[in-house]
Amino acid sequence: MNFAPVSNPTDSYWLSEPHKLASFSSSATVPEHVDIAIIGTGLAGVATAYHILKNSDPKNRPSIALLEARDACSGATARNGGHIKMKLQSLKGWCDQHGAEAAAELVKWVEAQRHDLQQISEEENIDCEFQVRRSYDIFFDQGHATELKSWMSARQNEGVIPFEDMQWVEGPHLDRITGVKGAVAAFSSPAISLWPYKFVTGLLERVVDLGATLHTNTPVFSVQNSSNEGSSPVMSTSKGNMRAAKVVYATNGYVAGLLPQYRDVIMPIIGQNSRIVPDDATLARVPTSATTYNFHYDSVFVDYLNPRPDGSVIHGGGGRSLNKAQSDRTETGRNSRFNSVDDSQLLNDQVAQDFCEFDEQHFYGWEAGKARVDSTWTGVMGITTDGLPHVGRVPGTTNQWILAGFNGGGMVMIPTMTRSIAKMVMHSEELENTDIPRQFKTTEMRLSNIFPTSSK
């Protein structure tokens, strides 16, 4: 399989206002040597560079080169939902797998991500429509809702997991409280909404100001390691070879193209997103929602929605629609979205229309049926068998680090993680000495956790 990004991806709404650095390159060829090479210019790569440079001596900052196969920040960060929150179902799954104390740590971790992004956005004065909001997990299946309510009540009685800013919501006025018709229950939690592309490219501009070089449309073909321990890897790119004393892989679902040991460990998967715009009459009479959402149809299928300040909504997910589309099955029985990096095509033409119809059926004031699909696009995520990202020093290396495999939830994992990765790269800190959850550490043992349909 070819893990290289395709050259003609679908057009994401988030990319509709290109930044001035979108296709910028600091030079016609890559530098012959740098202290640190960072592959990927999404949130993971750019924030790592930012923290390294911000926390270095201004008189002795390391040389950093950021390399991107396409335009800057044109991958998953510019194709996601644009909100950060904690889903109750995810918290339960984490608790079931790792225990209540680890779940409490996860709640604090997600809270830190929200605060970290707000701090950076304000300190660097990044114009990215950043908003502090609430979010609702909306439940349409009574059995699923009852299970989660019982679990939450039991954990509240134990007093280990901090639910102070979270609330279970139900009752006769649920529709009006949440703004969504037909739900049987809801879970309220804090959230952040932003224009992710504008945040990252605004931060990227600051990174370049601090001295980093940027090389867009410069795919990395390979990273060759010398047999001499501690020697600098040599990177082969479309604009020449470059030797880097240290390398950071921030390519998420594409990482197996450069680190083959992650093949079938971090599997690329395609997701679909859309922007839905109500008609002018609806925009005139219905205020923009102040909350983001996750819609749980049952215990398996969930979509997300992020209202924009202009009254439109970003609505994504689509698993339920895809599951119904039998024509989207491959001969192996799996959806063609699995093990693919082809974001040049839609998964299914019906997905965005299903989003549009859902919004008309469930949102007050949208009943007239005149909402339209303004744009729809796909993006590449990286999933793992255990649902956890791979973070830290690449096993078997001394000067290479990875942060990838975010299982569609990168925005709730990456921000403070990059502060710790920066320390690991600069000062050879071990992951155990940072605040990154230990379960995220990439290890030889975890590299054996491959998908059952693996070709290995």
What pLDDT shows up at residue 434?
95
Confidence check: pLDDT of 268 > 50: yes
Which residues neighbour 321 within 8 Å (Cβ) at sequence distance 6 or greater? 348, 350, 351, 354
CA distance 256 to 261: 7
CA distance 314 to 195: 11
Which residues neighbour 119 within 8 Å (Cβ) at sequence distance 6 or greater? none
Choice among 24-28, 306-310, 321-325, 408-412 with the minimum mean pLDDT: 321-325
Residue 1 pLDDT grade (very low, low, confident, very high; cuts 50, 70, 90): confident
Q: Residue 132 forms beta bridges with which residues?
A: 192
pLDDT digits (tens, 9 = 90+) for 160-175: 999 999 999 999 999 9
**Among all chains, which residue has been given the structure tokens 């889903």?**
87
Residue 228 pLDDT grade (very low, low, confident, very high; cuts 50, 70, 90): low
Confidence check: pLDDT of 322 > 80: no
Confidence check: pLDDT of 456 > 80: no
Structure tokens at 305: 């929605």
CB 432 within 8 A of CB 392: no
Percent of the chain with pLDDT over 90: 85
Give the burial string for 409-422 (b: 16+ CB within 10 Å, else e).
bbbbbbbbbbbbbb
pLDDT digits (tens, 9 = 90+) for 355-392: 999 999 999 889 877 899 999 999 999 999 998 999 99
pLDDT digits (tens, 9 = 90+) for 135-163: 999 999 999 999 999 999 999 999 999 99
pLDDT digits (tens, 9 = 90+) for 387-409: 899 999 999 999 999 999 999 99
Structure tokens at 400: 């290479």
CA distance 328 to 333: 9
Per-residue H/E/C for 263-329:
CCCCEEEEEEEEEEECCHHHHHHCCCCCEEEEEECCCCCEEEEEECCCCCEEEEECHHHHHHCHHHE
Q: Which residue has the higher pLDDT, 350 or 203?
A: 203
What pLDDT shows up at residue 348?
85
Choice among 182-186, 227-231, 399-403 with the minimum mean pLDDT: 227-231
Q: Classify the C-alpha dihedral 26-28-30-34 as positive or negative.
A: negative
CB 293 within 8 A of CB 85: no
Torsion of CA 279, 285, 290, 296, to 10 degrees: -60
pLDDT digits (tens, 9 = 90+) for 287-300: 888 899 999 999 99
Residue 80 pLDDT grade (very low, low, confident, very high; cuts 50, 70, 90): very high
| Helix, coil or strand: residue 244 | strand
CB 24 within 8 A of CB 204: no
Q: Which residue has the higher pLDDT, 428 or 324?
A: 428
Confidence check: pLDDT of 325 > 80: no
Task: Please state, rounded to an integer, the average pLDDT across all residues of the chain.
Answer: 93
| H or E stretch at 234 | strand 234-237
Confidence check: pLDDT of 53 > 80: yes
Radius of gyration of the chain from its Cα atoms, rounded to whole angstroms: 22
CA distance 302 to 408: 12
Residue 51's Cβ-side half-sphere holds a number of Cα atoms within 13 Å equal to 24
Q: What is the pTM of this model?
A: 0.94
Confidence check: pLDDT of 452 > 90: no
CA distance 288 to 278: 11
Residue 257 pLDDT grade (very low, low, confident, very high; cuts 50, 70, 90): very high
What pLDDT shows up at residue 337?
86
What pLDDT shows up at residue 330?
45
What pLDDT shows up at residue 367?
86
Could you give the C-alpha distances from 254 to 45, 126, 262, 357, in angstroms and in order? 13, 28, 10, 33
pLDDT digits (tens, 9 = 90+) for 192-222: 999 999 999 999 999 999 999 999 999 999 9
